[in-house]
């Protein structure tokens, strides 16, 4: 039996992965395999119960299909057992040569093998001389069995049988190889079809996912457009005609009436200082030397607000800021309620930092060198423009004030003065030192009832570059 037939049988039984273990133990053909029993399966590396059942069924199938092979294996096994277990003792120089006797009283008189060197068709035939007698218990051993070479006639018949068997085996091998190739081609074709199906499924899933994402994106765009339209309809009081084609007239604008409040939104009943100067319109005269001045700067619309279609709802008129608020009455009619606020100074969105500086911080610099104390800070929500107004590297109020301070310090009358800087942040009601690893600070009150920041670290600066370095270092430690 060829190795291919063994591989084919193992593959059909699902045991082809044991072939390397079988080949290392000399099992390369089916006739080698049928010699093993279940007790030998462990030595072959077959340990699981499922594989042992498969191998046992394979051996039984081979024995059923090839009975000659099983008989030959049994004969070889029995002869091997007979030789291995025969209690025969040979004594050199003894005529009989064998002293062991069987139960019938006969003993092996001796076996003498002689080969004539005669071969027929690749097979040497051996014959047993029938004249060889088995001595009885008396011990007479005069005859000796001999081996001789048979004639050519029997050798030729055996060779013919052998050639027929070889042809049959070759045909079986060819058929097995053909079946193996066909099965291999079928397996490869099935694998290719499965791979193609998986690839098609993946492509379909990707297309579906892309379509789903595109649909979501379109829905988001539609929602954003609807929101923009709603905002335009609701917030743009001057263009409410777009909301309804039937409305031809613009919405009415009503001034909000804040009873009991002065232009600074302070209740009039609290009694303000009657010595304050007022102009003809009733507003308090703007004094740059006032102790507390509140100034407002209007921020222009940013790019995101413009893209969303938002409109400017605040109008600056002198020191007055008017804010329009869209409202809806109970009867669902729309109107605009305008709120007016008055400050010490109002800067429109077109004002520059220099304009703001001249009206706010510059008078404080002069006041400081006259012996006073001044504070300038920006207050507002995130994104309202505080950093741009105060800390811009070129036109920020702190930079412009520093230029004037150092120019004044260089004058002879102020040569005894020095400039020190500290940088802290007020975040969620707490104070943090930005120049000292955000150390927590506490406000205190000294003996003169002045508020001081306890533990604030200060550094001396001599020029604007030093001030900017401090700003850069402190800004990196800010929370916002």
The least confident of 80-89, 166-175, 357-366, 383-392 is 80-89
The least confident of 158-162, 452-456, 462-466 is 158-162
271 pLDDT above the threshold of 80: no
From the CB of residue 114, how many other CB atoms can be counted at a distance below 10 Å?
A: 10
Whole-number Å distance between alpha carbons of 444 and 451: 6
pLDDT given for residue 172 in this prediction: 83
Neighbouring-strand partners of residue 296: 346
Give the residue with greater pLDDT, 460 vs 120.
460
Model pTM score: 0.43
253-255 β-sheet, strand order: 253-255, 334-342, 320-328, 314-317
Q: 151: helix, coil or strand?
A: coil
The least confident of 102-106, 153-157, 345-349 is 102-106
Indicate the average pLDDT of the chain: 74
Whole-number Å distance between alpha carbons of 144 and 58: 46
pLDDT given for residue 138 in this prediction: 38
Residue that is written with structure tokens 């006032």 in the block: 290
The least confident of 68-77, 145-154, 290-299 is 145-154
389 pLDDT above the threshold of 90: yes
φ, ψ for residue 333 (rounded to 5)? -85, 140
Beta strands in 217-260 (DSSP E): 253-255
> Nearest to residue 346, comparing CAs of 325, 375, 317, 323?
317
Q: What are the tokens at 403?
A: 């230029």
């Amino acid at each position: 039996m060829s190795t291919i037939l063994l591989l084919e049988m193992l593959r059909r039984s699902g045991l082809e992965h044991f072939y390397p273990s079988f080949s290392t133990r000399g099992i390369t053909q089916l006739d080698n395999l049928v010699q093993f029993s279940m007790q030998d399966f462990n030595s072959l590396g077959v340990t699981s119960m499922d594989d042992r059942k498969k191998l046992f069924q394979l051996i039984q199938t081979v024995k059923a299909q090839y009975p000659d092979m099983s008989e030959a294996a049994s004969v070889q096994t029995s002869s091997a057992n007979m030789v291995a277990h025969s209690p025969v003792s040979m004594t050199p120089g003894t005529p009989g040569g064998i002293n062991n006797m069987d139960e019938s009283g006969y003993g092996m008189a001796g076996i003498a093998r002689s080969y004539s060197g005669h071969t027929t068709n690749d097979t040497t035939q051996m014959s047993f001389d029938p004249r060889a007698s088995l001595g009885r218990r008396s011990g007479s051993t005069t005859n000796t069995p001999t081996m001789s070479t048979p004639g050519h006639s029997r050798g030729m018949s055996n060779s013919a049988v052998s050639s027929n068997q070889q042809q049959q085996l070759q045909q079986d091998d060819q058929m097995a190889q053909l079946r193996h190739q066909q099965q291999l081609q079928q397996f490869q074709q099935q694998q290719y079809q499965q791979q193609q199906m998986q690839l098609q499924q993946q492509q379909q899933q990707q297309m579906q996912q892309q379509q789903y994402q595109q649909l979501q994106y379109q829905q988001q765009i539609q929602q954003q457009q609807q929101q923009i339209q709603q905002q335009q309809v609701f917030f743009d009081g001057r263009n409410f005609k777009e909301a309804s084609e039937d409305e031809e007239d613009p919405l009415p604008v009503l001034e909000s009436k804040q009873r009991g409040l002065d232009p600074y939104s302070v209740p009039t009943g609290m009694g303000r200082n009657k010595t304050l100067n007022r102009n003809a319109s009733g507003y308090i005269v703007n004094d740059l030397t006032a102790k507390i001045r509140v100034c407002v700067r209007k921020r222009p619309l940013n790019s995101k607000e413009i893209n969303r279609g938002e409109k400017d709802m605040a109008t600056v008129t002198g020191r007055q800021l008017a804010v329009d608020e869209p409202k809806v009455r109970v009867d669902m009619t729309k109107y605009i309620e305008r709120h007016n606020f008055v400050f010490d100074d109002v800067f429109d969105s077109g004002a520059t930092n220099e304009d703001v500086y001249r009206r706010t911080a510059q008078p404080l610099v002069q006041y400081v060198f006259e012996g006073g104390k001044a504070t300038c800070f920006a207050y507002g929500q995130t994104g309202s423009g505080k950093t741009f107004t105060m800390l811009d590297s070129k036109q920020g109020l702190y930079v412009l004030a520093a230029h004037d301070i150092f120019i004044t310090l260089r004058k002879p009358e102020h040569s005894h003065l020095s400039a020190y800087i500290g940088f802290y942040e007020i975040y969620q009601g707490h104070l943090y030192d930005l120049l000292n690893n955000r150390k927590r600070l506490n406000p205190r009150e000294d003996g003169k009832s002045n508020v001081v920041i306890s533990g604030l670290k200060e550094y001396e600066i001599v020029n604007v570059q030093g001030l900017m370095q401090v700003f850069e270092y402190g800004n990196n430690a800010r929370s916002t």
